[in-house]
């Protein structure tokens, strides 16, 4: 569980699932997805804590892209809580390159992901929330990503164990809810980008990690 304290700075960082049309010229803009939902609920529900929220998601980013901007978009903010969601673009990029999973690319993903967490542990006291990348089998072509993405999900789980972070199993959560209520309800017609309901699912899962 992540313990929130007064005046904490909470950072959400990742790809388009975090970005969600935020105004990058405004460092305080939270976009239109789960970071905004989480901030709204916490700022309204516990105003006495005076929490600050940042969104540094960038559409299309892979883990190497986070690594390149980690100093500016993470470490320089000196956050108290860091929430990371990345990986689906790594899989789609790999599929575009040679249509198959590549062990070297998977190993590089692990190395780059570990470097993010290592720098956090060395230079900040931030509590960390790792979220699994996810994909739903609608449209059916999205299942081409499954083998590669499963390896990256396992790396995220490994990093959570290694660095003793919180872990939110989004791939399982999204697929379980998709089976019950229909995949498009949570990711529309592309199997990746959440609908309002999908962002709400992430928000609920994230808030369930907190204690006060």
Q: Which residues are catalytic?
A: 16, 190, 193
Helix and strand element counts for the chain (H, E): 9, 7
Query: Whose structure tokens read 């969600």?
Result: 20
Count of other CB atoms within 10 angstroms of residue 80: 20
Tokens of 75: 């470490």
- At residue 39, the 3 state secondary structure works out as helix
Identify the bridge partners of residue 55 per DSSP, sorted by sequence position: 12
Q: Which helix (H) or strand (E) holds 93?
A: helix 88-98
């Amino acid at each position: 569980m992540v313990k929130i304290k007064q005046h904490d700075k909470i950072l959400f960082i990742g790809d388009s699932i975090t970005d969600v049309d935020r105004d990058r010229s405004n460092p305080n803009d939270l976009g239109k997805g789960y970071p905004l939902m989480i901030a709204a609920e916490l700022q309204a529900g516990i105003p006495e804590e005076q929490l600050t929220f940042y969104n540094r998601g960038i559409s299309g980013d892979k883990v190497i892209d986070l690594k390149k901007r980690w100093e500016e978009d993470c470490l320089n903010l000196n956050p108290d809580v860091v929430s990371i969601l990345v990986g689906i673009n790594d899989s789609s990029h790999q599929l575009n390159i040679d249509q198959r999973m590549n062990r070297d690319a998977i190993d590089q993903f692990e190395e780059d992901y570990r470097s993010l967490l290592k720098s956090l542990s060395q230079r900040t006291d931030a509590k960390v929330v790792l979220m699994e990348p996810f994909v739903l089998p609608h449209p059916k072509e999205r299942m081409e990503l499954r083998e590669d993405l499963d390896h990256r999900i396992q790396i995220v789980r490994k990093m959570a164990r290694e660095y003793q972070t919180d872990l939110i199993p989004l791939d399982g959560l999204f697929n379980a809810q998709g089976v019950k209520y229909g995949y498009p309800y949570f990711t529309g017609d592309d199997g990746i980008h959440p609908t309002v309901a999908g962002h709400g699912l992430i928000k609920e899962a994230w808030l369930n990690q907190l204690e006060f």
